[in-house]
A and B are shown apart, each in its own frame.
Chain A
Amino acid sequence: MIAIQVENLTKRFNGLTAVDNISFSINRGEVFGLLGPNGAGKTTTIAMLSTMLKPTSGSASVNNFDMLKNEGDVRKSIGIVFQDQSLDEELTAYENMDFHGRLYRIPKKIRQKKITELLELVELEKKKNNLVKTFSGGMRRRLEIARGLLHEPKVLFLDEPTLGLDPQTRNHLWEYIEKLNKEKGITIVLTTHYMEEADRLCDRMAILDQGMIIVLDTSEKLKEEIGGDVITIKSLEIDHLYSKINALSWVKHAEPHDDSVTISLQNAEKHVAEIVNLASVNGIVIDSISIHKPTLEDVFLHFTGRTIREEKSSTKDQMRMMHRMKRG
């Protein structure tokens, strides 16, 4: 069963191509990630799929409704949490939910029941009568997710759901998202520029750059492609250490450098103890060991042959400015 089918979707703003002829499909019940630097076209893609923005060309269907012809049906069947906050701070958590429920024409009784249920789910039930302006960033995000679920959408779009949140809150949110997907079977499409987030949550992900999909695969496949984690061991006795490590059965790729040895492998955490033991048995002094997870930077480097440059973020600003000029 396919939840979202995208065909040759393109969006241009005054000559700047934000989304360039992309095609992909997302299965029902899947957590799908759109990964890329700022300005890669992630948000624009979501804006088009949620019918907020008309594409320049191409088409897409969401829950079997055509994005262009059945705008209303698409909207009813999706929930969306925007990148920027979209709550009314002068209203309480309950009132924000209630407003949403009314907009989606949910009958009063069901609305009240669902609101209580969802506020419990995101652990905001006790704060339901507090004004949103008193909420922390994490609480606001949770409220927005609860709100996005009120009308029981089949697909939930999350645009950078954990941007700007502290690690603990982020972890907490990830648990919610997993729970929603597993227990309620909601298809989730999220954008992120954290590799870690995509890795933790997504079944499959598409890496976007300059509006194009560079690669689309499961996170396992992508990581295999990059070669997994990297362990860096600093020591004065490099040659000795290298020869010992290279002899280990699970080491497939190790490299000696000036003052360190690097090993590329899967699940590095599991082998660190072994390396330390090996060194101490052989009397080698280790100065430090670090494990480096592949980041978006590495994936990017791998697939595009270049690093994510800072200009990328300004591309988005340019796009916004052009968009504004067009409107103005």
Chain B
Amino acid sequence: MDIVYAIWLRYVKRYLRSKSRIVGSLGMPLFFLLVLGFGLNSVVNLPGMGQGYIGFIIPGIISMSVLFTSVFSGIQIIWDKQFGFLKETLVAPVSRLEIMLGQTFGGATTSVIQGLIILVLSLFIGLNIASIAGFLVAFVFMLLIGISFTAFGIAIASKMEDMHGFQLIMNFVIFPIFGLSGALFPIDGLPSWMKALTLLDPLTYGVEGIRYGLLGTSQINPFFSFVVLTGFTVCMVVFGAYLFRKINV
């Protein structure tokens, strides 16, 4: 556990030091929140949603923030690979699994912090958290998104040689995961083919879980969301650990 902690500590230290990154990665989620939220708030009328469209997408934007930060954190291993630091870790008498877990928890921590920043900022534009318990539910779902997608990022990074493929991953994997997740629209009432895609998207369950925690309503049973997302997280960690074990420097 102390090895996992050592690697986690390094991640968090680096994160806290890169102020520009913290602020920079708030940009897009905030932009989405404000432009879509205020832009569509008067046009979109969601039955049963007390807090309007802007309230509806806050959980989605929080998920987005966690998703992007976590994938990016995982992919950062490529930099460690290129700058040589990964060698230092890999030549130490520690198992690859410990290294991978340390990095996963490090990435998950930073991405949850990013999500929490969005959450706090949302309080100023009208988010009312239903209860402390609700907040904790949302927190758990944020953590699961953070862990699973950092592990996913590590899996990708283990197969990538440099950052050239980063755009590809962002545009063809991460954006679709975000777009299809029901972060921006309700799942009910979608054409059936799109609904199917949405239900295949693991992030959907994260968004729905956070939405249940923060707003008290969701279209998918929160317990079911929790089971699906936990299952996905376990799979991703195993998958990431497997690919990371084979990484070569």
Tell yes or no: A24 within 8 A of B by CB: no
- A82/B93 contact (C-beta < 8 A), A90-B17, A91-B13 known: no
- What B residues does A100 contact at CB under 8 A? 88, 92
Complex interface: chain A residues within 8 A of B9 (CB): 99, 102
Q: Which of B6, B84, B93, B248 contacts A86 (CB 8 A)?
A: B84
A182, CB-defined interface residue at 8 Å: no
How far is B91's CA from A76's CA once the two chains are assembled, in angstroms?
A: 9
Complex CA–CA separation, A99 to B192 (angstroms): 52
- Asked whether, in the complex, the Cβ of B91 is within 8 Å of the Cβ of A99, the reply is no
The CA of A99 and the CA of B10, in the complex, are separated in Å by 8
For residue B245, give the distance in angstroms from its CB to the closest CB of chain A.
13
- Is B3 among interface residues, defined by CB-CB distance under 8 A? yes
Task: Enumerate chain B residues within 8 angstroms of A104, measured Cβ to Cβ.
Answer: 92-93
> Is B85 part of the binding interface, using a Cβ–Cβ cutoff of 8 Å?
yes
CB-defined contacts of A82 to chain B, threshold 8 Å? 84, 87-88
Known: A88-B14, A91-B10, A91-B14. Is A102-B3 also a contact (CB below 8 A)?
yes
Count A-B contacts at CB 8 Å.
Answer: 66
Any chain B CB within 8 A of the CB of A89? Answer: yes
| B85/A88 in contact, CB under 8 A | yes
Q: Is the CB of A95 within 8 A of B90?
A: no
Q: Which of A50, A73, A84, A323 makes the CB contact (< 8 A) with B91?
A: A50
Whether A86 lies near B87 (C-beta < 8 A) is yes
Contacts of B91 in A (CB 8 A): 50-52, 75, 80
Indicate if the CB atoms of B87 and A52 lie closer than 8 Å: yes
B2 contacts chain A at the CB level, 8 A cutoff: yes
The interface residues of chain A lying within 8 Å CB-to-CB of B88 are: 82, 86-87, 100, 147
In the complex, chain A residues whose CB is within 8 Å of the CB of B6: 99, 102-103
What chain A residues lie within 8 Å of B84 (beta carbons)?
82, 84-87
For residue B14, which residue of chain A has the nearest CB? A90
Instruction: Check A75–B92 contact: CB distance below 8 A.
Output: yes
B223 within 8 A of A: no
Is B172 part of the binding interface, using a Cβ–Cβ cutoff of 8 Å?
A: no
| A102–B2 CB distance below 8 A | yes
Q: A90-B14, A99-B10, A103-B3 are in contact. Are A85 and B92 (CB under 8 A)?
A: no
B131 contacts chain A at the CB level, 8 A cutoff: no
**Interface flags, B74-109, vs A, CB<8A=1, else 0:** 000000000111011111111000000000000000
Of all chain B residues, which has the CB nearest A50?
Answer: B91
Is A283 an interface residue when CB atoms closer than 8 A count as contact? no
Query: Which of the residues A89, A90, A91, A327 comes within 8 Å of B248, measured between beta carbons?
Result: A327
A sample of 15 cross-chain residue pairs with beta-carbon separation below 8 angstroms, ordered by A number, consists of: A73-B93, A86-B84, A86-B88, A88-B14, A90-B13, A90-B14, A90-B18, A95-B10, A99-B9, A102-B3, A102-B5, A102-B6, A105-B2, A105-B3, A323-B248
Q: A52-B87, A85-B84, A87-B85 are in contact. List 8 more A-B contacts (CB 8 A).
A: A73-B93, A80-B91, A82-B87, A82-B88, A87-B84, A88-B10, A90-B14, A95-B10
Using a CB–CB distance below 8 Å, which chain B residues touch chain A? 2-3, 5-6, 9-10, 13-14, 17-18, 83-85, 87-94, 161, 248-249
